[in-house]
Amino acid sequence: MIPTSDRISPAPDTAVRERLRRLSRDGGFVARLALAVPLVSGALLLVQAGLLARILHSAIVGGLGVASLSGAFAWLGGVIVLRIAIATAGEVLAAWAGETVKLNLRRALVTTLLGRPPVWTAARSSGALSGLVVEQVEALDGYLTRYLPAMVQAAVLPLAFAVVIMPIDWVVALLFLVTAPLIPVFMALAGWGAEAASRRQADALSRLSGYFADRLRGLTTLKLFNREAVETEGVTAASEELRRRTMRVMRIAFLSSAVLEFFAALGVAGVALYVGLTFLDLVSLRGTTLTLEAGLFCLLMAPEVYQPLRLLAANYHDRANAMAALTEIAAQIGEVPSPVSSAAVRPVVSSARRSGPAGLRLADIAVSTPGGRDVITGIDLDIRAGDHLAILGPSGGGKSTLLEALAGLREYRGQISLDGVELAQMDGGLLRHRVAVLGQRPSIFSGSIADNIRLGRRTACHAALRVAAQRARVTDFADDLPLGLDTPLGENGLGLSGGEIHRVALARLYLRDPGLLLLDEPTAHLDPATEDAVLEGLLEFAVGRTLVIATHSPRVAARMQRCFRIAAGRLLPAPVPAARKPAERGAA
């Protein structure tokens, strides 16, 4: 059966955190290299500070001139240039890895959304779903390109610098080891508030995306009912709410950065005060004399010890944004898809395309509404290849629901086999090749009549297109138009009646070669004469194919081989209605 993953519940924080931790691994070797580059730059920073301290010591204490120090200056310049090149390479690699991860995640999201039944997608805001793929994935950029490299630097470099400084001056190293941990502590305290604020901001952004997209799609209807002013006020209010929540996130980020800068400044000032007092012989905690070179090295390294922590603090809100984005994705679709395994949701059975009528077998089929109410239940039916059957029943009785389940478009319980293969295990391309579906509200896009018919087969020649249009009786009204089949249509079939839209959609099916036709009220909105003409073309096309029609029309049901009716969610055999064929009515 089709998986039941559309019952949405937000993923636990632990699952989101674990997925967030795995993001860096999704970037592959480039991501790991981008995280290692700052550590190389940190090692070169020690060399740079040591060279600069030695140059100053040699110039001040040793009295050496510029000429004598030219070799040291050359080494210092080379190290600085190398650090700049490494830093640039690190940013490029981080951006490359970030774009790779975002691209893979977007592909996984699109694959997941396309794999959901249309009824699942229809029940959700298209703007909110598109926001997941665009805005929420983009919110991960800061985490991937800034926060992760900063986190690696903050975890390794301060401790490494303190270890290197320990033999030079244990007091300075001890100051670093005592004061540096205060920054992560206050960063975590600020981070809790930033994460909650970012989550509320992501929720507001998702609502605004869905609200705006839905209103834009219904702009014509809103204008007709003079609701544009009210909806404009609604968009303005939603935008203002998003602005307020965004400013709360920024306020927390700026406040936390200011507090952390204060502690970093205190640490640097403490080192400078200790070194100065030691040179003035006012403090003597060392067993040996503090040389100018050692003191300068400690002073030069003091800001650099805190710099990785300050950088992490400045980018800590990026982690909060990423957590909020993944939480929103999980809340919308019930999971955070993995870029590696998202395409392999379930095993499928693929086989070579075949032609001819398709056989269907239904075993204990039940379909429920999202609220849990059973629409149809306990249906067992064997549809032989080549059968033509009608399903009758009142509106809302479940006819359309059953057809959607037969096409694999709706979740169901039980087993549906097409050509002996369970639908859930059938390759999607093969399923679309074997089954053609026409719903009650077919989609007509902005373009010509011919363009819409050609959606059935893009490569169809003009002759095949004309035959399909004649069989569906599209030419009956198209030939009276100045441009014929090249007449342009508006979105949703603007310019055509309901019955004409159905005929265009039928002509689209006639360009295909399906083994199973599932049609929902294909002759709706047609007068009796046109209904008979369209039905003749349909039955002509259905020769050698399996045909299942959901209809209210006894005239349509009378032309089928078997007839069933839906009552109280059950499918029951029904007598084929007695009706005269068109020729008999004409003779009478």
**Half-sphere exposure of residue 15, counting CA atoms within 13 Å on the CB side?**
15
Q: In whole angstroms, what separates CA 537 from the centre of its chain?
A: 42
Of 56-70, 123-137, 568-582, which range is least confident?
568-582
Identity of the residue numbered 134: V
Q: Quote the DSSP letter at residue 524.
A: T
User: For 169-201, how does the pLDDT look when each residue is reduced to its tens digit (9 = 90+)?
Assistant: 888 888 888 777 776 666 666 555 565 666 676
How confident is the model over 350-378, as a mean pLDDT? 77
Judge if pTM exceeds 0.75. Answer: no
How much of the chain, in percent, has pLDDT values that exceed 70? 86
User: For 471-515, how does the pLDDT look when each residue is reduced to its tens digit (9 = 90+)?
Assistant: 999 998 888 888 888 888 887 778 888 888 889 999 999 998 899
Q: Is the pLDDT confidence value at 368 over 70? A: yes
Retrieve residue 491's tokens.
Answer: 């979105």
Q: Is the pLDDT confidence value at 587 over 50? A: no
Q: Is 392 helix (H, G, I), strand (E, B) or coil?
A: strand
Quick check: 140 and 102 in contact, CB under 8 A? yes
Domain boundaries, the chain: 13-333, 360-587
Name residue, tokens 């002013």. Answer: 229
> Of 320, 307, 30, which Cα lies nearest the Cα of 150?
307
The neighbouring-strand residues paired with 489 are 447
Cα angle 285-286-287, degrees, rounded to a multiple of 5: 125
Confidence category of residue 389, pLDDT binned at 50, 70, 90 = very high
CA–CA distance, 17 with 191 (Å, rounded to integer): 14
Quick check: 167 and 297 in contact, CB under 8 A? no
User: For 207-223, how does the pLDDT look when each residue is reduced to its tens digit (9 = 90+)?
Assistant: 676 677 677 777 777 77
CA–CA distance, 208 with 453 (Å, rounded to integer): 36
Q: Is the pLDDT confidence value at 13 over 80? A: no
How confident is the model over 528-547, as a mean pLDDT? 89
Q: Is the pLDDT confidence value at 80 over 80? A: yes
Q: CATH second-level architecture of 13-333?
A: Up-down Bundle (1.20)
Q: Exposed, middle or buried, 398 (CB in 10 Å: 0-12/13-18/19+)?
A: buried
Which pLDDT does position 277 carry in this prediction? 84
CA–CA distance, 465 with 452 (Å, rounded to integer): 11
Q: What are phi and psi of 489, to 5 degrees?
A: -120, 155
Retrieve residue 229's tokens.
Answer: 């002013």
Candidate CATH numbers 3.40.50.300, 3.40.50.10190, 1.20.140.10, 3.40.50.10490; the one for domain 360-587: 3.40.50.300
